[in-house]
Structure 1
């Protein structure tokens, strides 16, 4: 059962990675779906209580890891195609990567928990608590099924009116402190796209996806170059934020305090946030400005 579900999750995660990229791949959504299925199976078999919950979490964890590796592998394949790497060498490197991650991920999670406490306001882990609630609700007999049905109906309505379900779902279950930056980032992308369309025009049938832009080697237009530059910058922000979170956690565990204030002041943080927002808009548009100067 675990192997079969992992196969399904890997296929879904790989497909979704091809659509939205590995950083936005909703593997948690795939895992929640598997969690529901396995929980209902365990309930039908009478495996309730702590033991049944442990089995469900274990199976879902295996499935989640399989789906994550699938998405990362396909993303690696895409990146490798840009630099001329062969699939065989990429798969070998992924094997070494999985082994290395298996040896270190427990340590990293332990450090993060010791520094911030997983589940606290500093590290809320909303997906983990969502999964915990599902398992305890189904196997504990106190699942709020009306809310589940309401969510399914809402998703169906959004699909029927041709609106994306994922952004709405993310906005509902993620903490406000996470959903607001996502919304602001989407707004900045919309504004920069509007500027690019105003300058170069746009026909939907001629639009390339972010993936097609990334692998395009020749004949890159200034508009396409601007979009690629923005994608690289935002990808660096995502990766850099994650890495710095681990670095800060290590410093806290080691007792190294670099904080200047006990409580971070609001205005400097807002100014820095605004500065990053301006950079997000300026860096892609800068390509247009540079192109104008070269034409002159």
Structure 2
């Protein structure tokens, strides 16, 4: 919600208009999200390896523990004191530490790889002597590129789920597609020598995530984008 208000402020929107848009979005999302969620649940099932949903699982465990009276409160207290200790130690982002503790390793490792790409991009931008405005444009381009990858990964996941769900129709070509869909969404795929293809794709992805934003630096005399002035 805070991001929506910030974007609305940059674009000249008012709080009233933003609130109206939020209410409309809630209704539209409620009507639309049922279908992809039902498709994913039919194909893989929530809580499986393909759809671990760690945050949803954590919230469900907390709700069940509180309602059922089985909440391990001593562990919750340990977590609270651990958070206070990190704040007193002036840890840059205690929330990220906490998130990394309950997310699966494959997720946190992917976040780490993204951080490496970001660090390399910032280092190259500094080495090229970009000013503050250029650095802001590079950062904006990187965020947009990463957002596109996130959206593309989500759409591809829906495609795999659709293939698996349609395989229930007993169509031979659909069953073959479903097998490959499951391999692509599980660690079994990486036991095959084709994992080298994944390494090549990762290298190309690194080139895209680092080189593409740097090309958006623009002229040093150009004014900074709105986000750089916030």
Question: In structure 2, what is the Cα distance between the partners aligned to 1:94 and 1:133?
Answer: 29
Distance 1:133 1:253, change over 3 A: same
Q: 1:244 maps to which residue?
A: 156
Question: Are 2:209 and 1:280 aligned?
Answer: yes
Contact preservation (8 Å) 2:142, 2:209:
yes
Equivalent of residue 178 in structure 1, options 89, 104, 107: 107
Which secondary structure state, in structure 2, belongs to the residue aligned with residue 195 of structure 1?
Answer: helix
Question: In structure 2, what is the Cα distance between the partners aligned to 1:225 and 1:96?
Answer: 32
- RMSD of aligned residue pairs (Cα, Å): 2.9
167-176 or 77-86, larger mean C-alpha shift: 77-86
Contact preservation (8 Å) 1:137, 1:143:
yes
Question: In structure 2, what is the Cα distance between the partners aligned to 1:118 and 1:260?
Answer: 19
Which secondary structure state, in structure 2, belongs to the residue aligned with residue 123 of structure 1?
Answer: coil
Q: Deviations over 1:93-149 (max 9, x none)?
A: 433322221112222211110011100000001122212322333444443333222
Q: 1:215 maps to which residue?
A: none
Q: 1:114 maps to which residue?
A: 42
Pairing 1:257-276 to 2, within 5 Å after superposition = 258=177, 261=180, 263=183, 264=189, 265-276=194-205
Pairing 1:8-47 to 2, within 5 Å after superposition = none
Distance 1:243 1:94, change over 3 A: farther
Which secondary structure state, in structure 2, belongs to the residue aligned with residue 272 of structure 1?
Answer: helix
Contact preservation (8 Å) 1:192, 1:281:
yes
Which secondary structure state, in structure 1, belongs to the residue aligned with residue 33 of structure 2?
Answer: helix
Equivalent of residue 235 in structure 1, options 114, 122, 147: 147
Contact preservation (8 Å) 1:114, 1:253:
yes
Q: Deviations over 1:47-91 (max 9, x none)?
A: xxxxxxxxxxxxxxxxxxxxxxxx2xx434443455555655554
Question: In structure 1, what is the Cα distance between the partners aligned to 2:147 and 2:5?
Answer: 17
Tell me the CA shift for residue 254 of structure 1.
2.6
- Please, which runs of 5 or more residues in structure 2 have no aligned partner? 168-173, 184-188, 221-230
Contact preservation (8 Å) 1:126, 1:175:
yes
Of structures 1 and 2, the one scoring higher in RCO (CA 8 A, sep 6+) is 2
Question: Are 2:90 and 1:162 aligned?
Answer: yes
Q: Deviations over 1:173-199 (max 9, x none)?
A: 001111111111112212222222333
Task: Number of aligned residue pairs: give it.
Answer: 202
- Please, which runs of 5 or more residues in structure 1 have no aligned partner? 1-70, 208-220
Equivalent of residue 29 in structure 2, options 73, 79, 101: 101
TM-score, length of structure 2 as denominator length:
0.73
Contact preservation (8 Å) 1:192, 1:285:
yes
Question: In structure 1, what is the Cα distance between the partners aligned to 2:72 and 2:118?
Answer: 37
TM-score, length of structure 1 as denominator length:
0.59
